């Protein structure tokens, strides 16, 4: 039973990490967009 709990925790952690990476990518794209808009 604890093994399943551990796996779920790892999966949740990976999902959060992926979400964070997606947010960073979106932020980077927005910054690039504004940078090209200002040029």
DSSP string, 3-30: HHHHHHHHHHHHHHHHHHHHHHHHHHHH
Q: Which pLDDT score is estimated for 39? A: 87
What would the pLDDT profile of 1-39 be if each residue is shown by its tens digit? 689 999 999 999 999 999 999 999 999 999 999 999 998
- Asked whether the whole model's pTM tops 0.85, one would answer no
Q: Which pLDDT score is estimated for 1? A: 64
Give CA–CA dist 19/3, Å, rounded: 24
Q: Which pLDDT score is estimated for 2? A: 87
């Amino acid at each position: 039973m604890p093994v399943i709990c551990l796996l779920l925790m790892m999966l949740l952690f990976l999902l959060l990490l992926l979400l964070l990476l997606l947010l960073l990518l979106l932020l980077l794209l927005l910054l690039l967009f504004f940078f090209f808009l200002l040029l």
